[in-house]
A and B are shown apart, each in its own frame.
Chain A
């Protein structure tokens, strides 16, 4: 088991470093002169050259890359934003709680509601409740989340005035972003939970339990649910990754200064330290979540555990 964890950790570090190199290279090759973008159209060549020297972008590519890798992965220093002259790490630390404030509750919401809906649909297969749930989830999967968010702003913020439309002044302003990023993931989870429950329902051990005269509530709780748990873990991990990955769009709709919005502003200003910092953060976050998910699998499923116990 230890061997497996260590192997996975090493490959995770390699993947994140490679992602860092790729993003750095993309940003290095991206068109547009960062010095000119900062100083404006009228800056003279001398000033521009001085600025380039100050930013360290007059050095050869390989030196810049080496500096970036050394600072990022050995000193955990993401550098200083070209746009705002603030340390990227500090900015990330301020913004991360806001993104997680949306990400974690909406992940929990989508998994709990999605799973309950899926189990409800599976146990009512072919009846009205099942069809209604499936139609509802199909519609939620199809509607773009940022559009649903805009419609919710019109309805709940503009017309009814229940919650603020933008910003993060109060806890109330997190309600809409949480619900809007949860809805599509919830729909996917519900469909997934339904199909894996249906698979379990048809399994032989359920027939055995039924013929034994077991109460159907106990069958659902004791026999079906644990076996349908695997896809649910996938739902938790995938949901968290999706919500955090979708944060640029949702944060842009609700004007929330989170990590996603930071990445977007970095992209718009060609602010290389900000973009690279955010991307390394996102890659690290995704890899850790996926690693934890795989460890949960290995821990929960005796078949997988047996493979690595040797």
Chain B
């Protein structure tokens, strides 16, 4: 019997959802995104609605996750905060993937002095571990959404650049590279039309893996008082808010943390699945 032909994307999707773990990750992630996008519209409370009768109340039928120290519904704040956290994670990872791959592509393709200068620059850049760099840049740029995106991006760039450079170095000796040079393609076209598509898979994998770490990093930043600040219900800011009452009202700490952990878990599982689906070495 002739094997049914499947399209490239259908084949990719089948591969991605083959294992139970990546399936779980995908479902969980889609669910969290949907709930954060739609949830706040369905909630009877706004993020700043104060219910004086249930200040610091634990979970109940009216307030599923309880209320915070000002009587605001914790679930609603978590869902709206999820939008901040998810967008922060996504945009910072995408941005660092973008900038990092440009550095990596140029360094790996040009080689020689350009390569040395870019890579030494990256060495200096990563002399400080990611979180410290984030703290410094965030302190320098001040609080707020866009400064935080930049701070989170800066820490990720060197590792992306290194990885892409390594990838380019191994691609450089391939035949299609020689061919594109022979037919007189411009450097720009070789870089972005030939090299980039052939190195895009590791870029996708690392970007996905980075989203989880970036969400955690964003939460750490606002937890220590930098980045996004408390009245905004970002997940780390909610934790920072609830921290003072940790001994008396543990639900203020428990729920935001569980949501962060679940989201990051989903993204990591998804990233693992993506790697297995895309990595040519693992293909049968």
The complex places the Cα of A283 from the Cα of B123 at a distance, in Å, of 11
Q: Which stretch (B60-68, B94-102, B127-135) binds chain A?
A: B127-135
The complex places the Cα of A148 from the Cα of B239 at a distance, in Å, of 12
Q: Are A248 and B128 in contact (CB under 8 A)?
A: no
Mask, B3-42, CB within 8 Å of A = 1, is 0000000000000000001000000000000000000000
The complex places the Cα of A150 from the Cα of B223 at a distance, in Å, of 12
* Cβ contact of B253, chosen from A11, A138, A154, A246, cutoff 8 A: A154
Query: Would you call A170 an interface residue if the criterion is a C-beta within 8 Å of the partner chain's C-beta atoms?
Result: no
Mask, B251-284, CB within 8 Å of A = 1, is 0011011001110110011000000000000000
A153 to chain B, nearest CB (A): 7
The complex places the Cα of A206 from the Cα of B265 at a distance, in Å, of 35
**B residues near A16, Cβ cutoff 8 Å:** 127
Categorize the interface residue count of chain B.
35 or more
Q: Which stretch (A23-31, A64-72, A225-233, A302-310) binds chain B?
A: A23-31
**A residues near B257, Cβ cutoff 8 Å:** 143-144, 147-148, 150-151
* Cβ contact of A248, chosen from B131, B140, B142, cutoff 8 A: B131
Q: Are B129 and A151 in contact (CB under 8 A)?
A: no
A11, A139, A146, A246 — most chain B CB neighbours (10 Å): A146
Q: Which B residues have a C-beta under 8 Å from some C-beta of A? A: 21, 120, 123-124, 127-132, 135-137, 139-140, 142, 212, 216, 219-220, 223-226, 239, 243, 246-247, 250, 253-254, 256-257, 260-262, 264-265, 268-269
- Starting from the known contacts A144-B216, A154-B246, 11 additional A-B residue pairs (CB-CB under 8 Å) come to A16-B127, A29-B140, A141-B264, A143-B261, A146-B220, A147-B253, A150-B253, A165-B247, A245-B129, A283-B128, A286-B129
Q: Which A residues have a C-beta under 8 Å from some C-beta of B? A: 11, 15-16, 18-19, 22-23, 26-27, 29-31, 138-139, 141-144, 146-148, 150-151, 153-154, 158, 165, 241-242, 244-246, 248-249, 252, 263-264, 267-268, 275, 279, 282-283, 286-287
